[in-house]
Amino acid sequence: MGILNVTPDSFFDGGKYLRPEAVLRRVEEMVQEGVDIIDIGGESTRPDSQLVPLQQELRRVIPMVRRIRKLFEVPLCVDTYKAQVAREALEAGAKMINDISGLRFDREMARVVASFNVPVIIMHIRGTPRIMQRNPRYKNLIKEIISYLRKGIDIALTAGVSSKNIIIDPGIGFGKTVRHNLQIIKNLAELKTLNQPILLGVSRKSFIGKVLDLPPQERLEGGLAAVSLAVFAGARIIRTHDVRSTRRVVDMVQAVLDS
């Protein structure tokens, strides 16, 4: 899953893809690099990020979905927790929704996803993006993540979402310390008890920078190490800024697993 942020303030690629021409060039690059899904987002959810008004998010995302769909066959996922953005994106041709709130921030989201019969990513988050990194604490990290995701699955199923359309994400960096993120990767296989495909997004994130003392531009190798461990533990979708490198790592790990 390739990341495409049409935002001015995302932590790694903010401002790079604000013009339609730049967006389409990046989509073409990702397709050539072997992307399977492109995840397009119109609101940064980095720590301390500001809320984006609904109409502004719609203006950023919907025209881009329409343009991409006209030119490329790659499936588009829209990264949003707003039901109206999801609805209009799906009407414009998106095929999947990525909800960082695990269907909590907008209670209409589950019904929208169900009505279009598309996959949805249910992610774990502690708090909101603006406050999530203010001293996050857990009594039992993995159990609490599993409990949160299980409730999200129940919300989806109750709204009529098919079980085959539910993907889970433990939410690396969303209300977690460096140690929490490392523990999630180490114990990722425990999420298999939920019997849903696991997505993981570690690309360029701050925990890698803190472990290796590196800025976002130099975190590729650290992220790929985490990806290798995640795929070995059972992750089935990897969300990344670096499609070519990640594709090669995933394919190599999968070849070992299939041998």
Q: What is the mean pLDDT of residues 115-144?
A: 90
Given pLDDT bands bounded at 50, 70 and 90, which one contains residue 136?
A: confident
Q: Between 19 and 77, name the one with better pLDDT.
A: 77
Q: What is the mean pLDDT of residues 9-28?
A: 72
Comparing CA positions, the residue from 107, 114, 116, 110 lying closest to residue 88 is 116
What pLDDT score does 134 carry? 81
Question: Given a cut of 60, is residue 15 above it in pLDDT?
Answer: no
Q: Mind listing the pLDDT tens digit for each residue in 50-94?
A: 788 899 999 999 999 999 999 999 999 999 999 999 999 999 999
Q: What is the mean pLDDT of residues 223-229?
A: 98
Q: Mind listing the pLDDT tens digit for each residue in 178-212?
A: 999 999 999 999 999 999 999 999 999 999 999 99
Lookup result for tokens 């990897």 = 238
What pLDDT score does 76 carry? 98
Q: What is the mean pLDDT of residues 213-218?
A: 95
Question: Given a cut of 90, is residue 125 above it in pLDDT?
Answer: yes
Given pLDDT bands bounded at 50, 70 and 90, which one contains residue 175?
A: very high
Please report, rounded to a whole number, the percentage of residues in the chain having pLDDT higher than 90: 83
Concerning whether 205 is annotated as a catalytic residue, the answer is yes
Question: Given a cut of 60, is residue 9 above it in pLDDT?
Answer: no
pTM above 0.75, yes or no: yes
Q: Which of 60, 219, 239, 247 is catalytic?
A: 239
Buried b (16+ CB within 10 A) or exposed e, 43-78: bbbbbebeebeeeebbebbbebbebbbeebebbbbb
Q: Which of 205, 219, 236, 248 is catalytic?
A: 205
Concerning whether 143 is annotated as a catalytic residue, the answer is no
Find the farthest-apart pair of alpha carbons in the chain and give their distance in angstroms, rounded.
50
Q: For the domain bounded by 2-129+138-258, which CATH number is listed?
A: 3.20.20.20
What pLDDT score does 48 carry? 66
What pLDDT score does 21 carry? 86
Q: What is the mean pLDDT of residues 29-33?
A: 96
Comparing CA positions, the residue from 187, 239, 178, 246 lying closest to residue 213 is 178
